[in-house]
Structure 1
Amino acid sequence: MPITVNGVELCDDEIEQELPMHQDGDQPLHRAVVTRILRRVLLDEAQRLGMDVSDEELAISRLLQEHAGSPEPDDAACRRFYDANPVRFTVGACVEADHILFQVTPSVNLEALRLQAEDVLARALQEPERFAEFARAYSNCPSAAVGGSLGQLSRGETVPEFERVVFSVPAGTVHPKLVHSRHGLHIVRVARSEPGRLQPYEAVAGDIAQVLGAMARDHAWRQYAKVLVARAQIDGVDLGDDAEADRLMGVAQGL
């Protein structure tokens, strides 16, 4: 069944042109189709408003700027963001950490792995001086060869779910719970922790304004696209949650 947008069929050439942009994600064909639909909906709206659409990127940019604008953040909003996110504006924070990794693989028995990890954790809490010994015996990470040592870690160097925990563990202690990450189950010990230095508000106010402005624009664009998609006549495809315009950033890339 052909895909049509406001009575105009989406041709194969358009989709083939878009497809390379989505090869690194899930369902690249569906993403390409949704992106082309959103582009067509935006261009149809620009044309309806009397805009020149000969340059598609320029037309979409003008449409979004003129009809999906958002207010610039004021100083009060920037200060609230600063106060609510001190970690984001702290520089120099680092930890020296060790871990024991119980890696999750497609064939692993998850319950058996969890029970083993819990047993080793209990032993590490009772005998922390044997942590390196336990790491060499049980860890599935190359760091096992050096007693589980990960060396010095700064923020941004590990996956977020691991980082959140490792930067909260008091120095000189083993974390009392297993840490779940995309790699598996971890037992974590922090040897040393440096809290870093909070940058003054004045030094980061400009960056905060840019971040909040981008967030506001993103929200406004998504809401605007949702309205246009809901109003458009789209046949031959089920957009589902994609109607929330998750692909709008792809459509407007570089604008």
Structure 2
Amino acid sequence: MNAALFPDLVVNGETVPHAVIASEAQNHDAPKGKPGIAWRKAADAVAIRTLLLQEARRRDLQPVPAEVGPGRFETDEEALIRGLLETALDVAPPSEEALHAEWARDPSRFRSPPLWEVSHILCACDPRDEAQRKAAEARATELADRACANPRDFAKLARENSDCGSKSSGGALGQLGPGDTVPEFEAVLRTLTEGEITKTPVLTRHGWHIIRIDAVADGAELPFETVRPKLAEAMEKAAWAREARSFVCQLVASATITGADLRTI
């Protein structure tokens, strides 16, 4: 092991095994051929975790693992850190004045989701199969040209050519909202205006689509009373994150650490 590239991590006299940092390094990105970067990121993360565990034990806290999913529980270390932060942090809910001020700063940020009335023509293929993909693209391109040249024929083209079950209704998919379709399809919906047809086919895992927006209902600006519960939750989470960061910085400031650089946390 290269001691310069992978130095020992020592936190307040406690040497952390290299295996612990190596395991953590799998969770951190680094350019190919530069494992030292992932190691340093992992060492920083492990140093913070070690500091928190040391503080939890100094306070004689006992782990009480919480259920985090059906049949899945925290590890003892996760439970100790959670218990420490719950004990050490005192984050007050935001006041009504703070909530209203945050909403009033830019009410347009808080809108109901848009709705799109959509029709499409699908030329199905497996995008991983190059021959299928190219053949379906050629067919979809020809259909897109015909649809754009004669928009009134869109439903007829869909009934006669689409590989989707919606062909029986002229390609109509009904109303769609965010998350109702695959990301590539939704991304295009957000760029189209009412009555517009995609001039070039759109590829998704289902194949190539020619998409028409039949109607658009833009999300309406939401009043403060509607926004308040989620805004309060978001502001409290942000405040908790700030307090947690401040608490960690205090631990770092009073600690003796080698093998990690926590000056920029």
TM-score over 0.5 for the pair: yes
1:94 aligns with 2:115: yes
Aligned twin of 1:142: 165
Aligned twin of 1:83: 108
Amino acid at match of 1:100: I
SS at match of 1:209: helix
Aligned twin of 2:70: none
- How many angstroms does 1:180 deviate by? 4.5
**Cα distance 1:149–1:224, how it changes in 2: closer, same or farther (>3 A)?**
farther
Distance 2:241 2:206 in 1: 31
Q: Please say if residues 78 and 212 of structure 1, whose CA atoms lie closer than 8 Å, have aligned partners that are also in contact.
A: no
Cα offsets for 1:103-143 (capped at 9, x unmatched): 44321344554444333211110112222333345434332
User: Which moved further from structure 2: 121-130 or 153-162?
Assistant: 153-162
Long gaps (5+) in structure 2: 2-7, 28-38, 64-76, 261-265
Aligned twin of 1:51: 59
- How many angstroms does 1:157 deviate by? 2.0
**Cα distance 1:222–1:132, how it changes in 2: closer, same or farther (>3 A)?**
farther
Amino-acid identity (%): 27
Q: Please say if residues 133 and 147 of structure 1, whose CA atoms lie closer than 8 Å, have aligned partners that are also in contact.
A: yes
**Cα distance 1:41–1:134, how it changes in 2: closer, same or farther (>3 A)?**
farther
SS at match of 2:130: coil
Distance 1:215 1:176 in 2: 43
Higher RCO structure, 1 or 2 (CA under 8 Å, sep 6+)? 1
1:192 aligns with 2:215: yes
1:7-46 equivalence runs, <5 A:
7-9=15-17, 41=47, 43-46=49-52
- How many angstroms does 1:195 deviate by? 3.7
Distance 2:122 2:185 in 1: 11
Q: Please say if residues 110 and 227 of structure 2, whose CA atoms lie closer than 8 Å, have aligned partners that are also in contact.
A: no
SS at match of 2:174: strand
Distance 1:223 1:100 in 2: 55
Amino acid at match of 1:117: A
Aligned twin of 2:129: 107
Is the radius of gyration larger for structure 1 or structure 2? 2
Name the one with the larger helix percent.
1
User: Which moved further from structure 2: 145-154 or 169-178?
Assistant: 169-178
SS at match of 1:173: coil
SS at match of 2:192: coil
TM-score by length of 2: 0.56
Aligned twin of 1:151: 174
Distance 2:159 2:50 in 1: 63
Distance 1:137 1:39 in 2: 59
**Cα distance 1:70–1:114, how it changes in 2: closer, same or farther (>3 A)?**
farther
1:223-234 equivalence runs, <5 A:
none
- How many angstroms does 1:72 deviate by? 5.9
Long gaps (5+) in structure 1: 16-29, 235-255
